[in-house]
Homo-oligomer: A and B are copies of this chain.
Amino acid sequence: MQYPEAIAKLIESYSKLPGIGRKSATRLAFYTLGMSDDDVENFTKNLAASKSDLTFCRICGFITSKTDDPCVICTDPSRDQSKIFVIENSQDEMAIENTHDYHGLYHVLNGVLSPMEGRGPEDINITSLITRLADHPEIKEVIIGLDASTEGEATTLYLGRLIRPSGIKVTRLARGLSMGTNVDYADQLTLTQAVNGRTEL
């Protein structure tokens, strides 16, 4: 026996989302049936709008509405034009903005190098970064803020080698203990990096 077509197809659509298996998709589909008409209508509108209204900023790669391209940060003259923060995706940019502590510009790679997934330098926003650095001599520092993972590490080293010859200062995020970590619970590598990167009191 099969579910009626309309629900079977909705289960299909939900199970295409990442981290949502058949069981969860079925649960979500039945939950949808119980949602208010307004909520479902908004959901469909918002899904459609996400494809039609959004684009990646033509300068920095941040997600932006098509009516705001270049994005609000790239067009904000009050931002420090001498620094570029290189991150993997728009969510990372949002996390850094939420610290309210950085006032420079960004460059969103929209990916990291990953030989395993067949993603090379030409598949992420590296060329546009290099062109941007060449066109804007006012840029004095590139801060690389990629994930502390193997792929993030490889991409960081690659970018460092690529940018350093131009004479621009290249920095990376500090490694050490996260807030709240107990020294005896920290993993070996983190502890080694915290010792090597110790700062004067």
Cβ contact within 8 Å between A51 and B30: no
In the complex, chain A residues 1-33 whose Cβ is within 8 Å of any chain B Cβ: 1, 3-7, 9-10, 12-13, 16-19, 24, 26-33
Cβ contact within 8 Å between A4 and B40: no
Q: A6 — which chain B residues lie within 8 A by C-beta? A: 46, 49-50, 53-54, 65
In the complex, chain A residues 55-107 whose Cβ is within 8 Å of any chain B Cβ: 63-65, 68, 72-73, 89-91, 94, 97-98
Number of copies: 2
Q: A90 — which chain B residues lie within 8 A by C-beta? A: 3, 30
* A189 on interface, CB distance cutoff 8 Å: no
Cα separation A3 to B37 with both chains bound (whole Å): 26
Q: A50 — which chain B residues lie within 8 A by C-beta? A: 6-7, 10, 29, 32-33, 40
Chain B nearest Cβ from A157, distance in angstroms: 26
Instruction: Spell out A's residues near B (CB within 8 Å).
Output: 1, 3-7, 9-10, 12-13, 16-19, 24, 26-33, 35, 37, 39-44, 46-51, 53-54, 63-65, 68, 72-73, 89-91, 94, 97-98
Query: What are the 6 A-B residue pairs with the smallest beta carbon separation, nearest first?
Result: A6-B53, A4-B65, A1-B97, A13-B43, A44-B44, A10-B46
